[in-house]
Each structure stands twice: as structure tokens, then as C-alpha cells.
Structure 1
């Protein structure tokens, strides 16, 4: 259930970004308010005493500081990649990063590497690529690969770091505060950026879109952490299912909600995604 909810929330993030772009709502302001909202949710759900001293002295604080910086940075890189190269390139770059936490899980946590699981993971990479591929996807120069590569690397490091911190430093009852701290750091950095750019004025539309995105964004991280905390799946299995599931649901949502055309390659990708999930899960 936690895994399914994480997939749903992650998919809704793409839908919200697509919607606010069509409504011409500021993406930058929405992202900043989103992190403030997510931070507030984490504090509301937290059952432990909240003090600055306890937070700073927590074993996971330095990791949360690092993740907060990555969260806001990679969100901006994702937006920039989508604007310059297209949504399909941004989607491929972010979701292909599943290979980083998968390899990390196999090496560091000694997770299983049976033939069926490896086959499923390889199929998952092809599935993500084929599902996201569009006719206008074109990267001509080495320089144009810079943003997609940063997005690929950053997304993989985020997933890997979340799993590592959850495994060794974050107690189960500490997940809400851990999440809130990450979002607080990301939101604070976002506000500083807006102040430097003199773009600190918010409209009601920005506030409303940020509020909605914040609830969804918090859910995606919270439910992913809860799923990782469960013993049902190894992290390599869970990240594979999560990323492929998001690509599948996002593609189908684009078809139904935004009437985007799906090519034969896209349908092949969806079929491979289903097969890869079955292989990895049953392994």
C-alpha cells in the first residue's frame, strides 16, 4: 500500500507541473511554497518533541542538510531540462537513474542478484526509455547532454541517500521530522534564491498551486520512506517497481487527461514495464 501511494503521489507531481504550465502559473514560486507546505505537514505528523537542538543533534541531520540542497537543486534542473530539451528527455533522465540505487543496494546491502531479477532490472531500463520516447526527442551535441546528465546523477543520488539514511540513521517514528527537515532546508534555500533575484512576491495562484504540490510531494517521500522501512521488498526491487510504476502511470495519465499521443514505441515500453515489474517482484 505504501509503495502504491508513493507511485500515485509521484505521478501527481508530473500532472501538477503540466497543469500549472498550461495555466501559466510560476513554477519557481510554486516549488518554494510546495516545500514550505511539505515541511509544515511533517511537523504536524511528527509525534516527537520538536526543538532546534534535538533536530541539529539528530544522527540524520547532516544527511537531511545535504538532501535539502539536492531537492531544490534537482527540482530546478528538472524544470530547466524540460524547458530546453522537452519533458520526455527530463522524464528519461530522472527515471533511468533507478540504476544507481539498485546497484548500490546490491553492492552495499548484499541484496539478491538472481538471473530473473537482473533480467527484470534490465527490462525496466528499456521500459523507461521506450515509454518516455517522443518523436521530437533529440540531443545533438555533447554540451546538450549536461543538464540531463546532472538530472540523472542527482535523482539517483537522492534515492540512494534516502535509503541509506533510512537504513542506518532514521528511526521509524522519526520519518515525519526527517522529511520535514529536508523540506525546510529546501524551502529556505528557495526563498533565499527568490530574494536574491528580487522575485519574492507571491500571488494567490502561486500559493494555492504550491499548497497542492506540497501535500503531494510530502506524500511521495513519506510513503517511499515507509515502504523502504517495510521488510516486504529489497530496496533494489522497490526502487525498480517505484520508478517503472511512475513512468507507466504518468504516461497513461497523459493519454487520458491531456490527450497526448502514444506511439507504438510507448506501448512497447508500457508492456516491458509490466513484464519487468512481474519479474522483479516475483524474484
Structure 2
């Protein structure tokens, strides 16, 4: 049940971004409200006294600041990718980023690299290109069609790698909620700074609809992480199985929703890319 909820919540993030774009709701305002909503949920989930000075002096605090910058930057990129390139492209680019923490683990944690894992990494990179390809009627292929998925791929991988490193190196067992809440809060504060800069430049117009979309996104964003962690705690399933089913299901579900609800058209290369994405996820996570 937790795995099913995690798949649905993660897929909903991409769908919400797509709807926000189609209804011309302000994306940045939605993202800022989303982070303060997720921050609130993180605080409510923490069962120990909250002492600000202890948080600032903790070893993971500066890492949380860096992740706060990355969170809001990559969430913006994710939104733009879903709106400009399609749900399937955004989903594949973010889910294929799993190869980055794997490469990091090879060098930092001295993990082994077998042929199966190496093949999965290569296929993942190929899948990002094929799934992101868009036909051009009057011009040749341009790197402009790929820069958003590439940034999403690298940024998502960097976030996953950083979280894994900080969690295994500095976090206590009960520190995940307050650590997550700190990241969400910093990302929200940075977002407020961006909105303030737009206001100073007289480029800011408050969008009331962003409150609703931001709160919904924040709840979904928080529970996409919470339910995945709960699924990983299940005694009857290995984490490799959970990650494989989770990632493959999200890629396929976002593609299906893109086709059925948003009438996205996929080229043959896109379908091949999605198929390779599924294969590469299986190879990498089960190696």
C-alpha cells in the first residue's frame, strides 16, 4: 500500500506541474508555497523539541542550505521540463538520475562495477536522449531541445547523492524529519527572495490560484518521500525491488497520463527511449 501511494504521489508531482502550466498558474509562486507547506508537515512529523541553535550548529546544516538551493532550482527545471517537453520526458530524466549516486558510490563507497551495472548506466544516458527527442519540421536537431532534461537529470542525481551522503554521515535515526523540514524552509526562503526581487523590479503580480496549487503540491511532495521511506521499511521486500517497481511504475504511469489526459504525442524514438529507460532501471537497481 505504501509503495502504491508513493508511485501515485510521485506521478502526481509531474501532473500538477503540467496542470499549472496549462492553466497559466504562476509556477514560482506555486513552488514557494509548496515548500512552506512541506516544511510545516516536516515540523509536525518531528517528535523531539525543536531548538534552532542546535539545528544551526549541526554538522548537516550547511548541506541543508546547499540542498535548499538545489531543491528550488531543480523543482523549477522539473516544472519547465514537464510543461515544454512533456510528462514522459520529465519523468524519465529525473528517474534516470539514479545512475549518478551509483557512480558516486563506486568511488566513495568502493562499490563494485559489474557488466550489468555498467550497461545499465550507459543505457540510462541513451534513454534520456531518446525520450527527450522532439521532431523538428523546419530545422535540424538542436541542443536546445535537450538542455532542460539534461539539467533535470544532473540536478536530481546531485540531490539524491547529497541526501544519501549527509544521511549516512551526519544524521541521527530520528533526524530525517527536521533535516527535511530545514531543506524545505531554506528553499522556501530562497523562493521568497526571488519573488521579492521580482517585486522590486515591478515584475511581480500575486496569483491567488498559486495558493491552492502550492498547498496541494506541498502535501503531495512531502508524502511522496514519506510513503517511499515507509515502503522501504517493509520487512518482506528488499530495497532493490522497491526502487525498481517504484521507478518503472512512475515512468510508465506518467507516460500513460500524458497520452490519455494531455494528448501528448510520442515519436517512435520516444517509445524506444522509455523502453530502454525501464530496462536500464532494472539493470542498475538489480545489479
Bin of the TM-score, shorter chain as denominator length: 0.7 to 0.9
Are 1:160 and 2:164 matched, yes or no?
no
| Alignment partner, residue 29 of structure 1 | 29
Partner of 2:212: 208
| Residue 246 to residue 89, structure 1, CA distance change in 2 (3 Å) | closer
Q: In structure 2, the residue corresponding to 1:164 is in which secondary structure?
A: helix
Q: 1:259 aligns with which of 246, 257, 263?
A: 263
User: Structure 1 105/166 Cα, relative in aligned 2: closer, same or farther at 3 Å?
Assistant: same
Report which stretch shifted further, 247-256 or 182-191.
247-256
Q: CA deviation at 1:105?
A: 1.5
1:188 positional shift: 0.7
Structure 1 position 86, deviation (Å): 3.7
Q: Name the SS for the 1:173 alignment partner.
A: coil
Separation (CA, whole Å) in 2 of partners of 1:100 and 1:159: 8
Any conservation in 2 of the 1:7–1:242 contact (CA below 8 Å)? yes
Query: Structure 1's 120 and 255: CA in aligned 2 closer, same or farther, altered over 3 A?
Result: same
Residues in 2 aligned to 1:71 and 1:107: alpha-carbon distance in whole angstroms: 25
Alignment of 1:1-283 (within 5 A): 5-79=5-79, 86-87=85-86, 94-136=94-136, 140=142, 150-198=151-199, 202-223=206-227, 232-233=238-239, 245-283=249-287
The Cα of 1:242 is off from its aligned counterpart by 5.8
- Cα 1:184–1:277 change in 2 (3 A) is same
**TM-score, structure 1 as length reference:** 0.81
Contact 2:64 2:182 in 1 (8 A): yes
* Residues 95-135 of structure 1, C-alpha deviations (whole Å, 9 max, x = no match): 55433222002221223322223223333333343334332
Residues 246/133 of structure 1: CA separation in 2 closer, same or farther (3 Å cut): farther
Per the TM alignment, residue 65 of structure 1 is displaced from its structure 2 partner at its CA by: 0.9
Residue aligned with 2:25, SS: coil
Q: Using the alignment, how far apart are the partners of 1:86 and 1:274 within structure 2?
A: 19
- Distance in 2 of aligned mates of 1:184 and 1:140: 37
SS of corresponding position for 1:59: coil
Residue 25 of structure 2 contacts residue 210 of structure 2 at CA under 8 Å; is this kept in 1? yes
Structure 1 window deviating more from structure 2 (267-276 vs 31-40): it is 267-276
Q: Which moved more, 1:167-176 or 1:225-234?
A: 225-234
- Hey, what's the Cα distance between the residues in 2 that align with 1:265 and 1:278? 20
Across the two proteins, how many residue pairs are aligned to each other? 279
Q: Mark the CA change 1:20 to 1:107 in structure 2 (over 3 Å): closer, same or farther.
A: same
Change (3 A) 1:274 1:75: closer
User: 1:191 offset after TM fit, Å?
Assistant: 0.9
Change (3 A) 1:275 1:154: closer
Q: How many angstroms does 1:38 deviate by? A: 0.5
Deviates more, 1:176-185 or 1:105-114: 105-114
Shift in CA distance, 136/167, structure 1 to aligned 2, threshold 3 Å: farther
Gaps of 5+ in 1: none
Deviation, structure 1 residue 70 = 1.3
Gaps of 5+ in 2: none
Deviations 1:215-264 (A, max 9, x none): 11222344556678899447xx9877765554333212211222222332
